[in-house]
Amino acid sequence: MKILVVGGAGYIGSVCAELLLDEGHEVGIFDNLTEGHRAAVDPRAQFIHGELQDRRVIEDALSGTRPEAVMHFAANALVGESMQNPSKYFRNNVANGLNLLDAMIGTGVRRLIFSSTCAIFGPPERVPIDETMPMRPINPYGESKLAFEKVLRWYDEIHGLKFVSLRYFNAAGASPKFGEDHRIETHLIPNVLQVALGQKPHVEIFGTDYETPDGTCIRDYIHIIDLARAHILALKSPRSEFYNLGTGGGASVREVIDCCRKVTGRKIDVAEKARRPGDPPRLIASSKKIKKELGWNPQFQSLEAIVESAWAWHQKFPRGYGD
């Protein structure tokens, strides 16, 4: 297939593009490089530098590449920032997403794979979180993703645009080529590995008195390659659908740090801080539905496998992509 990966120079998009190319698909990457990196663009892909806020530019990209489907990763995704600047999140995650959808309709592209988030659910009534749970986001980031999911439902009904929305929490790990290098790094594993590399003095633990076995928050980590495979499987979905993605287990902050110590063999100091407002003690997603309907079968379930792949990439690229 011909696939246009929007946001394909970012962390998840770059690995999805890599796996698509490995499987013989023809790939175009559209990115404005504000969050992504030019060095994260697979050289086998056609790269188009552009802004989603300019509908003419994305229409030209679609007309030029003539994809059979679009994968959409181009979003802002920092919860804290969304609480400080909600306008940025609704403009980029919703309004710019509408530009993409309208351009797809205008150029006859009728299939979209959307990178969503389990943040649309808010604090869960129970875990693991499945697709039947009420959606009550507690920040503009989650609200913007939920708003776009609602838009997708109507574009399917009115325009026949088929979509699959994949909701997940923590992508982690790396492929041998591409890994995690955010300009503002909020994710736990790369922050811990920066300590192991000597780039930071310690890693911060926010809250040690949660109702969990070791007092620290538990989160769901999915290997980036397993996540990419879920997006590729979604291309085969015969209908529009929503799927949650998770391991069903999860790991605590302390367990992640201990695993990083084991994998790296290095000392990793911690600094214990007070809880952050709004951090639920446990966030875990269920993948029963996508496993049953699309046959998703994650290959890298263990935390150690995730950390090993991330550590290998960070050792190879200690300064990330360097741009």
Q: What is the pLDDT of residues 4-13, one digit of tens each?
A: 999 999 999 9
Strand segments, DSSP code E, in 135-235 are 162-167, 170-172, 203-206, 218-219, 221-223
> Tokens 């389990």 identify what position?
118
Would you place residue 89 in the very low, low, confident or very high pLDDT band (cuts 50, 70, 90)? very high
Other beta carbons within 10 Å of 317? 16
Section 40-46 average pLDDT = 98
Q: Does residue 51 sit in helix, strand or coil? A: coil
Percent of the chain with pLDDT strictly greater than 90: 95
**323, pLDDT greater than 80:** no
**Rounded mean pLDDT of the chain?**
96
Percent of the chain with pLDDT strictly greater than 70: 100
Q: Does residue 50 sit in helix, strand or coil? A: coil
R_g over Cα of the chain: 19
Q: What is the pLDDT of residues 204-246, one digit of tens each?
A: 999 999 999 999 999 999 999 999 999 999 999 999 999 999 9
Taking the C-alpha atoms of residue 290 and residue 159, their distance in angstroms, rounded to an integer, is: 25
Would you place residue 50 in the very low, low, confident or very high pLDDT band (cuts 50, 70, 90)? very high
Predicted pLDDT of residue 248:
81
Pairing mode of beta strands 270-273, 203-206: parallel
> Tokens 């776009």 identify what position?
148
Taking CA atoms, 202 is separated from 61, 68, 195, 209, 317, in Å, by 44, 46, 6, 20, 20
Q: What is the pLDDT of residues 111-133, one digit of tens each?
A: 999 999 999 999 999 999 999 99
Section 45-64 average pLDDT = 98
Other beta carbons within 10 Å of 159? 13
Predicted pLDDT of residue 276:
86
Would you place residue 262 in the very low, low, confident or very high pLDDT band (cuts 50, 70, 90)? very high
Taking the C-alpha atoms of residue 60 and residue 90, their distance in angstroms, rounded to an integer, is: 24
Would you place residue 16 in the very low, low, confident or very high pLDDT band (cuts 50, 70, 90)? very high
Contacts of 5 (CB under 8 A, 6+ apart): 13, 16, 17, 20, 27, 28, 29, 30, 45, 70, 71, 73
Predicted pLDDT of residue 5:
98
**DSSP per position, 286-297:** --HHHHHHH---
Q: Which residues are catalytic?
A: 141
Would you place residue 174 in the very low, low, confident or very high pLDDT band (cuts 50, 70, 90)? very high
Would you place residue 296 in the very low, low, confident or very high pLDDT band (cuts 50, 70, 90)? very high
Section 189-193 average pLDDT = 98
φ, ψ of residue 319 to 5 degrees: the values are: -105, 20
Would you place residue 301 in the very low, low, confident or very high pLDDT band (cuts 50, 70, 90)? confident
Let me know: does 188 contact 260? Beta carbons within 8 Å. Answer: no
Contacts of 177 (CB under 8 A, 6+ apart): 18, 42
Section 189-202 average pLDDT = 98
